[in-house]
Amino acid sequence: MKTKKSIHLSLIFFSFGMMPAQQKILQTDFSKGTWEQVGTGLQRKWVSGSESTFAFWKMDKEAHVPPHQHPNEQITYITKGSVRVLMNNKEHIVKAGGVLIIPANVTHEFFCMEDGTEDLDFFTPVRKDWTDGTAGYLKQQENPLETVAQFDSMRPGNVAVSKEGRVFATIHPLGSPRLQLVEIINGKPVPFPSEKLQKNGGKASHDTFDTPLGILVDKKNRLWMIDMGLELGTTRLWSIDLKNNKIMEKIELHADIAPKGSFVQDVAIDEKNGWAYLADIANPGIISLNLKTKKARRFSGHSTLQSEDVDMIIDGKVIDFGGKPSRVGINPITLSDDRETIFFGAMNGTAWYQVPARLFRENSDDQTIGNTIQKLGDKPVSDGVATDKNGNHYITNLGGHSISKLDATGQLSEVVKDGRLKWPDNVAISDDGYLYISVNQLNSTPAFSGEKDKGQPPYFIYRIKL
C-alpha cells in the first residue's frame, strides 16, 4: 500500500528546490560496500572533501601502478604488507607502519611486494584527475567506447536494441523532458512511435506517455516500456509492435498493486510463458504480471529487496537521494535466457540474487518464494543490468565508471572502465554482440545532489563489442 516513503520518492523527482549552499560534513564506512577495481590486483575506495582526497588501497603481490605524477602532495601510509616505490631515480621500500611523502609533480611508480598489502593515501588538493577520469589507470583502451547517440539537452534513461539493430531510449524524467521515448536515427533522438504520444511539455494524460524509464525488446521483437506515472499517479506497461510501429497494448496496474507514489522503474519480459516482472523501489518489491489475464501480485518485505547499508560513492563523494545518503532498494531485475530464473539486486547493494520464476507463475506464497532466493554473487552499487544467453550479467558500476560482468559461476570481473561512463544508467545486449550503455550523469541532478543541476551535456549512448 501507499507509504510516506513512496510519496516522498515521487516528490523528489518533481522537486527542484535547492539545499542551502554549505560545506557538507561527510561520514562513510569503508568497511562496507564494494571495492573499485583499478587494475590487475589493485583496488581502492576513496572520498574527497573540498580541499583534499583520502584513499584506501588493497593490493595483491606484483600489482603495479605505472609511472605518473600529479599536482598533489601525497602522503602514503602502509598499514599492512609492503611496497616498492621508484621516485627521483631512487628506490624506496615501505613496509607496514612506514610513511612516505611524495611531493607534488614528482614522477613515481608503485610495485606491491606482498599479497594483502593495504595502503592509506592522503592527497592535497583534491585529486581532480580522479573525479574527471583523466588518470591513466581509469582508461581501458583495449575495449574502446563507440558513440551511438549524443543528447545535447536531454538525459537518456534506459536503452534497448531490436533484432534489426534499431536503438531506442527513454528520456529520463528528471527535468520533465518534452519527449519520453525516442528512436536513435543517425545518432540523434527522434520521437517514437509518434510525436502525439509524447507529453510535449504538457500535462500527463491517459493517452500519452508520462514518466517512463525501463525499456526492452523481447524475443518476439516487441518493445516494452514501463511508465512509472509519477505525474498521472498510474503505473502502465506499454507494448509496441516494431513491425508497424504501433501501440499493441497498454496495461494499467491496479492501485492495490502499484498505488500512487510507486516507483516501478524496471521490467523483465517472459514472452515464452506470457509474464512480466517489475521492480518497485519505493515500496521495494517484485510485481509479477500475467500478460494474458492481466492479474498481478506483489512480493515484498523480504530482506533481499531492501537497500543494504552501503554508501554510493562517486568521484570521491557520498551521493545523497532526497537530502540524505542514498539507500535505494531493488533495481534492476532481469530474466535468464530460458525465462526460468529471475535475477535482481538493490541499487545500494552488493549482492545479486536469483529465484525461480515458476514460483511466481504458480502464485506461491511469499514465504515459499523467500525461502528459495539464493545469492549468485557479488555486484557493485549499480543501476542497470543485462543478462546474455550464457548467463553472464553485465552490471553498471556507478562508482567505478565501468561495467562489471558477473558470470554464471558467480565470478565478478570488469568489462570496460572509462572516465566517460559518468553514471552508466542502463545496458542492453544486441544480437550482433554489442553492449549498449546509456550515460546520463544522474548524480549531478537536484534529486541526488540537492543543488542546482550540475550536469555537463552532452549525454551519450555508447556501445562496446563483447
Q: Is the dihedral of CA 350, 393, 441, 138 positive or negative?
A: positive
CA–CA distance from 242 to each of 210, 218, 315, 337 (Å)?
21, 11, 39, 21
Question: How many structural domains comprise the chain?
Answer: 2
Q: Quick one: which H or E segment has residue 111? A: strand 108-112
Residue 428 lies in a domain: yes
Same domain, 107 and 152: no
CA–CA distance from 154 to each of 183, 198, 422, 438, 455 (Å)?
14, 14, 15, 12, 10
Same domain, 187 and 283: yes
Write the DSSP symbol of residue 143: S
What is the pLDDT at residue 370?
98
Length of the chain: 466
Residue 359 backbone phi and psi in degrees, to 5: -65, -35
Going residue by residue through the chain, which has 466 residues, state the pLDDT in tens, using 9 for 90 and above: 344 444 344 444 444 333 344 456 667 777 766 788 888 899 998 888 889 999 999 999 999 999 999 999 999 999 999 999 999 889 999 999 999 999 999 999 999 999 999 999 999 999 988 877 777 665 555 568 999 999 998 999 999 999 999 999 999 998 668 999 999 999 999 999 999 999 998 988 999 999 999 999 999 999 999 999 999 999 999 999 999 999 999 999 999 999 988 999 999 999 999 999 999 999 999 999 999 999 999 999 999 999 999 999 898 888 988 888 899 999 999 999 999 999 999 999 999 999 999 999 999 999 999 999 999 999 999 999 999 999 999 999 999 899 999 999 999 988 998 889 999 999 999 999 999 999 999 999 988 888 888 899 999 999 999 9
* 138, 161, 194 - which closes a domain: 138
Residue 29 lies in a domain: no
Specify which residues 43 forms β-bridges with. Answer: 37, 58
Residues with Cβ within 8 Å of 336's Cβ and at least 6 positions away in sequence, in order, are 343, 387, 391
Could you list the residue range(s) of the whole structural domain that residue 204 is in? 146-465
Residue 175 lies in a domain: yes
The answer to whether the beta carbons of residues 312 and 319 sit under 8 Å apart is: yes
Residue 295 lies in a domain: yes
What is residue 146's three-state secondary structure? strand
Query: Is the peptide bond prior to 156 cis by the omega test (within 30 degrees of 0)?
Result: no
Residue 183 lies in a domain: yes
Same domain, 165 and 305: yes
Residue 17 lies in a domain: no
Q: Quick one: which H or E segment has residue 7? A: helix 4-13
* Per-residue three-class SS string for 8-36: HHHHHHCCCCCCCCCCCCCCCCCCCCCCE
Q: Measuring CA to CA, which residue among 29, 44, 32 is closest to residue 402?
A: 44
Same domain, 294 and 432: yes
* 122, 138, 154 - which closes a domain: 138
* 138, 161, 196 - which closes a domain: 138
Residue 410 lies in a domain: yes
Residue 118 sits in a domain of what CATH number? 2.60.120.10
Same domain, 161 and 115: no
Q: How far apart are CA 403 and CA 414, in angstroms?
A: 6
Same domain, 108 and 158: no
Same domain, 128 and 153: no
Query: Is the peptide bond prior to 457 cis by the omega test (within 30 degrees of 0)?
Result: no
Q: How many CA atoms lie within 13 A of 446 on its CB side?
A: 18
Same domain, 313 and 216: yes
Same domain, 244 and 329: yes
What is residue 463's three-state secondary structure? strand
Write the DSSP symbol of residue 39: E
Same domain, 84 and 158: no
- Grid look-up 525461502 returns 371
Residue 353 sits in a domain of what CATH number? 2.120.10.30
The answer to whether the beta carbons of residues 411 and 427 sit under 8 Å apart is: no
Same domain, 444 and 369: yes
Q: What is the pTM (predicted TM-score) of this model?
A: 0.84
What is the pLDDT at residue 430?
97
Same domain, 94 and 222: no
59 residue type, one letter: M
Residue 7 lies in a domain: no
